[in-house]
């Protein structure tokens, strides 16, 4: 590789990541920029830069720029080549992507595209273009979770974005904005705490309005989970009056628990008791981050104050935002709202229509990315079977995946006689295949969080250095082996993905066993999409690991598409 080019890249990385070790720089160059450079080469260059006064090393062998080179713009050192030279994109955009990046930023925009089509990176580059065109102004980038926040920041670096962008989860932005406006926020109520409070409120409701079959948790213990889901759905749909609840179609709520018009009056009584408790304690349900702002706006009787708005707002993975979230998000931008999403990757039970939230994205305001640049044709040939007859494919916003041009290995299938043998076989494979790789990223994923620690220990016993990681740590993960859950992979990418726990009794069996027969198809569609998302995170290879009987979602995949590992 040209040493001058390598020097420029390393100086930029020192500016972004210092203090940092040579090994980490080599890893970033490989994972983020596709430049495969040995640590020794990076070290040699760094020592030369130190003799030239362009780099310095601390007692922990971590490298950084000299103080003068790190000075903020406006200081005496602000005219150094590193500061004066604008960052250059580390990726080349297709004509299709570039056209979206350059669209007029004065209107709302929806970017639709399949997994690997570059939606996040295009949004990041579009943010950079808008920032470069603004002499002043602000830009807010919202995501669903902290892992995506970290990943978006990485996308900014890849797209050459150097301006100031506020990257936040919707929960974090909602909470901090409510507090800034003057709302005393005591904390979030999670699902477990909500369940305990609902038990108490159901008893109170029975004392006031009499017994009802939906109050009888002793006769139907599964009702407590139903109550939690119903309340989360009410929050998500931003239903604030009884007459709205009586009239609305309960889309996505299934039919396992039949709810008549009269039943809804009993539900509403409990719902209002729960809301009163939240208001009195100045807490908010974690499934209702938008409610925090909607309540503040209701109490203040106005729109979002201008000082808490932004000129431009961007939302990634918008398909997993709720209606109430978007009602708030639509109030933030002064100029434009840009969103990216893919219904095939919808892994939460949330729903909205653009009309219902007042966002116009028809015609030229909706653009499609028609190709996949991440994964291989061999992976997509298997993954697309997970979307067959899925309940999202009839939506006008659905984008059917196309086969990538990139080719690679077949999807591996590892089977064993029982679950324990399957896990051992999978861990042996990971240890043998990936132990000596330094800059490659490997995600070993399992269905449930409680499985992560045992998986980490099993791999460490086999001589691997493993990170059990979720959230922001996963989003910024650059190389090595990470152990996490299926759901945590949403919106991210890795070189290799190893999907464990695919014996049918566990996935989907353990989840579906508590689902009523009437709701089975809907739940199965969601679980299929979770696996589709997991598979399409991979840039190079996917390995499926389980015991017989194997996960039913793969039973229609032709054997010719799989490479069975003995």
Q: Report the distance separating Cα 165 and Cα 490, nearest Å.
A: 22
Strands 109-113, 494-499: parallel, antiparallel or unpaired by DSSP? unpaired
Is 113 annotated to bind ligand? yes
**String of DSSP letters for 71-132:** PPTTSTTTTSHHHHSPP--SS---HHHHHHHTS-TTS-EEEEE-TTS-HHHHHHHHHHHHHH
Structure tokens belonging to residue 288: 């209702």
3-state SS of 307-330 is HHCEEEEEECCHHHCCHHHHHHHC
Q: Report the distance separating Cα 117 and Cα 344, nearest Å.
A: 13
Question: Do 309 and 333 form a contact (C-beta atoms < 8 A)?
Answer: yes
Is 115 annotated to bind ligand? yes
The H-or-E segment that residue 7 falls in is helix 3-17
Question: Do 291 and 235 form a contact (C-beta atoms < 8 A)?
Answer: yes
Q: Which of 302, 300, 301, 283 is nearest to 292 (CA)?
A: 283
Strand, coil or helix: what is 331? coil
User: How far, in Å, are 250, 358, 510, 519 from residue 257 at the CA level?
Assistant: 12, 31, 20, 10
Cα dihedral 451, 457, 460, 462 sign: negative
Determine the distance from the C-alpha atom of residue 191 to the mean position of all C-alpha atoms in its chain, rounded to a whole number: 20
Phi first, then psi: what are they for 411, rounded to 5°? -65, 130
Is 119 annotated to bind ligand? yes
- Give, as one character, the DSSP assignment of residue 519: G
Q: Which of 423, 455, 456, 430 is nearest to 545 (CA)?
A: 423
Strands 56-57, 63-64: parallel, antiparallel or unpaired by DSSP? antiparallel
By 3-state DSSP, what share of the chain in percent is helix, strand and coil, each rounded to 5? 45, 15, 35
Strand, coil or helix: what is 543? strand
CA geometry: angle at 470 spanning 465 and 471, to 5°?
135
Structure tokens belonging to residue 548: 């017989």
Strand, coil or helix: what is 52? coil
Name residue 542's beta-bridge partners.
497
**String of DSSP letters for 385-401:** GGGTT-TTTTSTT----
Q: Which residues make Cβ contacts (< 8 Å) with residue 11, sequence separation at least 6?
A: 49, 54, 55, 65, 82
The 139-143 sheet, strands edge to edge: 166-169, 139-143, 310-315, 333-341, 109-113, 366-369
3-state SS of 355-389 is HHHCCCCCHHHEEEECCCCCCCHHHHHHHHHHHCC
- Binding-site residue set for ATP: 113-120
- Binding-site residue set: 113-120
């Amino acid at each position: 590789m040209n040493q001058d080019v390598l020097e420029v890249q390393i100086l930029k990385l020192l500016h972004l990541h210092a203090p940092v070790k040579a090994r980490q720089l080599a890893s970033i160059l490989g994972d983020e920029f596709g430049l495969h450079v040995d640590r020794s080469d990076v070290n040699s260059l760094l020592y030369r830069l130190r003799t030239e006064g362009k780099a310095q090393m601390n007692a922990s062998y971590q490298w950084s720029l000299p103080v003068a080179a790190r000075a903020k713009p406006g200081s005496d050192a602000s005219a150094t080549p590193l500061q004066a030279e604008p960052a250059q994109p580390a990726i080349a955009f297709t004509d299709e992507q570039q056209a979206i990046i350059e669209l007029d930023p004065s209107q709302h925009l929806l970017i639709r595209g399949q997994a690997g089509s570059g939606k996040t990176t295009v949004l990041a580059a579009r943010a950079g273009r808008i920032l470069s065109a603004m002499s002043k102004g602000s830009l807010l980038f919202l995501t669903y979770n902290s892992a995506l926040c970290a990943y978006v920041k990485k996308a900014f670096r890849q797209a050459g974005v150097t301006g100031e962008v506020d990257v936040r989860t919707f929960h974090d932005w909602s909470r901090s904005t409510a507090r800034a406006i003057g709302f005393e926020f005591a904390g979030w109520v999670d699902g477990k705490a909500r369940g305990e409070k609902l038990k108490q409120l159901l008893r109170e409701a029975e004392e006031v309005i009499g017994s009802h079959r939906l109050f009888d948790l002793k006769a139907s213990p599964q009702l407590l989970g139903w109550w939690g889901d119903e309340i989360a759905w009410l929050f998500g749909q931003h239903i604030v009056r009884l007459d709205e609840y009586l009239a609305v179609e309960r889309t996505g709520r299934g039919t396992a628990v039949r709810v008549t018009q009269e039943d809804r009056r009993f539900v509403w009584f409990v719902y209002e008791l729960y809301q009163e408790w939240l208001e009195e304690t100045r807490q908010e349900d974690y499934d209702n981050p938008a409610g925090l702002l909607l309540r503040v706006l209701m109490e203040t009787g106005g729109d979002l104050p201008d000082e808490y708005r932004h000129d431009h707002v961007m939302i990634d993975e918008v398909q997993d935002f709720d209606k109430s979230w978007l009602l708030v998000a639509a109030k933030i931008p002064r100029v434009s709202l840009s969103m990216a999403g893919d219904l095939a990757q919808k892994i939460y039970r949330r729903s909205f229509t653009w009309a219902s939230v007042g966002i116009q994205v028809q015609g030229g305001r909706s653009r499609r990315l028609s190709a996949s640049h991440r994964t291989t044709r061999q992976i997509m040939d298997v993954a697309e079977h997970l979307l067959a007859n899925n309940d999202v494919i009839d939506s006008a916003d659905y984008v059917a995946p196309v086969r990538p041009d990139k080719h690679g290995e077949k999807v591996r299938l590892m089977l064993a006689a029982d679950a324990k043998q399957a896990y051992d076989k999978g861990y042996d494979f990971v240890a043998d295949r990936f132990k000596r790789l330094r800059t490659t990223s490997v995600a070993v994923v399992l269905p449930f969080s409680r499985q992560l620690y045992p998986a980490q220990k099993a791999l460490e016993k086999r001589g691997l250095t493993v990170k059990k990681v979720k959230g922001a740590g996963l989003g910024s993960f650059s190389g090595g082996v990470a152990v996490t859950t299926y759901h945590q992979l949403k919106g991210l990418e890795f070189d290799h993905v190893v999907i464990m726990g695919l014996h049918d009794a566990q996935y989907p069996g353990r989840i579906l066993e508590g689902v009523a027969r009437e709701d089975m198809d809907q739940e199965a569609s969601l679980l299929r999409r979770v696996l589709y998302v997991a598979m399409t995170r991979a840039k190079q290879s996917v390995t499926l690991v389980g015991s017989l009987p194997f996960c039913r979602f793969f039973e229609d995949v032709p054997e010719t598409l799989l490479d069975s590992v003995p």
